[in-house]
Amino acid sequence: MSDKIKNVQTKIIKINRKTKETDIQLALNINGSQKISINTGIAFLDHMLEQLASHARWDLSIQNNGDLEVDDHHSVEDIAICLGDALQQSWRSQDSMQRYGQRLLPMDEALIMCAVDLSGRGIYVGELEFTRENIGGISTEMFEHFFNTLAMSALMTLHINPMYFRNNHHLVEGCFKALAYALKEALSPSVGINTTKGIL
């Protein structure tokens, strides 16, 4: 790779967020080596975030102490806020990047399209139409809320479109994996700034 497009980001972004509802410590390195330690208090969410970090080749640590005795909403939302904040700081610290990323990802019988633009505009567009209300102790409606909150906090445009599926687990896991590869492409080095505005 030419020196002109080398862009090795080793900075670790740390986010601490403490409210009356959650206490979260998060650390992210987008050019890591898949060092992952996640404990959100929701095992299925841990699994999905591990998929995201592993396939994106991140180092990611998340520790959450949330009011799960109330429900899953506060923890899922605040984790998305923290991860989005860390992701925004990470992409803004890049000297250059592709900016756009996309992936059409098969997960057994499910097929998921995901596209991202690290644009400075927090927008989520998606329709996740589950056939179950819960998966692994988490409300299925919270996954779309997670992606929407993540997009807003990361200031990225995020489109997720399931082409088809039968298994709800595969739908969710496919979304997280497709997002991982789309972000991996968007964050990869580029030459110059990919905007005619001069700044994102």
Q: Among all chains, which residue has been given the structure tokens 């080095």?
A: 189
Residue 89 tokens, joined: 């700081």
How far is C-alpha 108 from the geometric centre of its chain's CA atoms? 21
Asked if the structure places residue 191 within a domain, the reply is: no
Number of structural domains the chain divides into: 1
Establish if 197 belongs to a structural domain. Answer: no
Instruction: For residues 66-95, give the mean pLDDT.
Output: 95
Burial of residue 131, with CB atoms counted within 10 A of its CB: 0-12 exposed, 13-18 middle, 19 or more buried = exposed
pLDDT of residue 190: 83
For residue 10, what pLDDT is reported? Answer: 64
The tens digit of pLDDT for each residue in 42-51 reads 999 999 999 9
| Domain annotation covers residue 198 | no
Residue 193 within a domain: no
Structure tokens at 131: 């056939």
pLDDT at 152 over 60: yes
The yes-or-no verdict on residue 149 having pLDDT over 70 is yes
Residue 170: give its domain's CATH number.
Answer: 3.30.230.40
The answer to the question of residue 104 being in a domain is: yes
The dihedral over CA atoms of 40, 134, 80, 96, expressed in degrees to the nearest 10, equals 110
50 in a domain, yes or no?
Answer: yes
pLDDT at 1 over 50: no
Rounded distance between C-alpha atoms, residue 3 and residue 135, angstroms? 46
The arithmetic mean of pLDDT across residues 84-101, rounded, is 94
Please report whether residue 200 resides in a domain.
no
Query: Residue 76: is its pLDDT beyond 90?
Result: yes
* Residue 146 within a domain: yes
What is the DSSP annotation of 78-143?
HHHHHHHHHHHHHHHT-S----EEEEEEEETTEEEEEEEE-SS--EEEE----S-SEETTEETHHH
Residue numbers of the domain that contains 136: 3-186
Cα first-last separation, the chain: 25
